[in-house]
Amino acid sequence: MGKATGFLEFDRREDSWVDEKTRITGFEEFHNHLNEEERRCQASRCMDCGVPMCQSAICLKGMVTGCPLHNVIPEWNDEIYKGHYEHALARLLKTSNFPEFTGRVCPALCEKACINGINTGAVTIHDNELFLIEKGYEMGYMKPRIPKTRSGKKVAVIGAGPAGLAVADQLNHRGHEVTVFEREDQIGGLLMYGIPNMKLDKSVIVRRRELMEAEGVIFKTGIDVGNGAAFDEIVDEFDAVALCCGSKKARAVNAQGAEGCKEVHYAVDFLKSATKDLLGGKKGKWTISAKDKHVVVVGGGDTGNDCVGTCIRQGCKSITQLEMMAQPPKERQPGNPWPEWPKVEKTDYGQQEAIEVFGHDPRIYETTVKELIMQKGKLTQIKTVKVKFENRQLVEVEGTEQLIKCDLLIIAAGFVGAEDYIAQESKVELTQRGTVKTEPEQYQTSVPKVFTAGDMHRGQSLVVWAIAEGRHCAAAMDKYLMGYTSLI
């Protein structure tokens, strides 16, 4: 796979990022991509592994390493190295519906499992994947694949996030008639309104929509099933229904004074409004504005980082990011060997930009918000407190309270399950985690004809897991409809 001595001849070289000072002036994607010759050299580093862990998706100590889609990575790396791009793309698309999404936003579970990572640096699988799909569009390989025959079965997909899109894509190519209902004005779910433009340009989603429509998928946007559109009518009209509405019930912060405070916003609302303003040509006239404000973001994950990057581009006066967990180590510890997921600190683009603009890392670890301080009805400060875990319970550390300037508080503390109204309208059973209940590793709900996938089924997770869930759900629906399935 690849050049036999490639991993010895070439060092790992990732796509570089535009420097911080330049990229914070706009919301454009900020990666500098390697040229074609350099990319082939990087692909040649893929070894002839006896057991390619990169495509394994195995769970070690409660964390998954390797690709959940089981992409046949060594095969298409080999074809990239040889310059056989069309063949390479065909191998990638066998298992991955939307490489243009994962190639931009996936944290690359595959690379964490690459054996080269032990010594010389993992193969640049993530960048290779993005190169391959973009080369496919450039060369005209991404043509509509219209099914030659139709099954006569009608399928409804509720929710046009990555899971719903994967269900639709799979079942449409199988020959079923697929209609996707989406409550927003654009498809994509959190791809569209939860991930900032500089991380995933929205033209990429529009391009994919146009391709899927050319293949026969019907998109109906602006339709909120369960809140205006009747779920029962959809069930009656279609032969099978997939619930892919995400896990969008945001986790609240238990802080005195937070209830009803106008300067407190959930991250998903803040990021959605920023993208809508940007797409609507309102850059600089933000619906929720961080300009000239002292901003505190509660949550140290990817969404919190996206909020940091967005606030800096809007011109915030200061930015602080609170994280309840302890600061991870800089390097792998002896008890965390390859191929386990590396539990190390990651300084992402938003934190890098904050360091450049304000001179320090915005993150404060083992800390949360205790109280909001108001003056004349407006938020001016927050009181923070150190926290620690005792017997699996989060407790405050006495005497560690501090005051921080804050006139915009953004909550990026994750989600706690499916929104109540769609669960009630569809009459599906929920688990204690707020996800839709099915049998283990199954996708059919307790309601006849109704299936589920993605965050609504799995809980808050990654885009790559949503796509994998969508593929498995599509196979289960196809078997239900036809009595057998050829989908994987």
- d(Cα 386, Cα 323) in Å, to the nearest integer? 10
| C-alpha to C-alpha distance for 374 and 379, rounded to whole angstroms | 4
- Residues forming a β-bridge with 396: 387
Helix, strand, or coil here: 387? strand
Phi, psi of 240 (to 5 degrees): -155, 150
- Sign, Cα dihedral of 399, 400, 402, 408: negative
Q: Using the CB atoms, write b or e for 142-155: b if 16+ within 10 Å.
A: beeeeeeeebebeb
Tell me how far apart the alpha carbons of residues 367 and 379 are, in angstroms, rounded to a whole number.
19
Structure tokens at 449: 């004809």
CA dihedral 442, 443, 445, 451 (to 10 degrees): -160
Let me know: does 466 contact 455? Beta carbons within 8 Å: yes
Whether 6-139 shares its CATH topology with 154-248+416-482 is answered no
Note the CATH architecture for domain 264-411.
3-Layer(bba) Sandwich (3.50)
Superfamily of segment(s) 154-248+416-482 = FAD/NAD(P)-binding domain (3.50.50.60)
Q: Is 384 helix (H, G, I), strand (E, B) or coil?
A: strand
Paired tokens of 224: 């909120």
* Residue 314, both tokens: 């809007």
366 — phi, psi (to 5°)? 50, 45
CB 407 within 8 A of CB 431: no
Tokens of 136: 């496919």
Q: Compute the C-alpha angle 272/273/279, nearest 5°.
A: 90
DSSP E strand boundaries for 175-263 = 177-182, 218-221, 240-243
Beta bridge partners of 256: 371
> With left for phi above 0 and alpha for psi between -120 and 50, is residue 91 left, alpha or beta?
alpha
User: CA quadruple 22, 26, 31, 35: dihedral positive or negative?
Assistant: negative
Residue given tokens 């269900």 in the structure block: 167
Distance CA 250, CA 411 (A): 9
∠ Cα 275 279 282 (to 5°) = 90
For residue range 311-320, what is the model confidence (pLDDT) as tens digits? 999 999 999 9
Q: Residue 310: which of 295, 330, 325, 298 has the closest Cα?
A: 295
The whole-number pLDDT of residue 252 equals: 87
Terminal Cα distance for the chain, rounded: 24
What's residue 96's pLDDT?
Answer: 98
- pLDDT below 50 — which residues of the chain? none
CATH number for 6-139: choose from 3.40.50.720, 3.10.129.10, 1.10.1060.10, 2.40.30.20: 1.10.1060.10
pLDDT at 1 (0 to 100):
56
186-228: pLDDT as tens digits = 999 999 999 999 999 999 999 999 999 999 999 999 999 999 8
Q: Which two tokens stand for residue 100?
A: 């243009």
Beta strands in 280-351 (DSSP E): 294-298, 318-323
Q: Where are the domains of the chain?
A: 6-139, 154-248+416-482, 264-411
pLDDT for residue 2: 65
Q: How far apart are CA 71 and CA 128, in angstroms?
A: 13
pLDDT at 259: 87
Tokens of 345: 């600190």
List beta partners, residue 17.
31
Q: Is the peptide bond before 339 cis (omega within 30 degrees of 0)?
A: yes
Residue 381 · residue 373 · CB < 8 Å:
yes
Q: Are 280 and 171 in contact (CB under 8 A)?
A: no
User: Rounded CA gap, 470 and 394, in Å?
Assistant: 34
Tell me the pairing of strands 363-365 and 402-405: unpaired
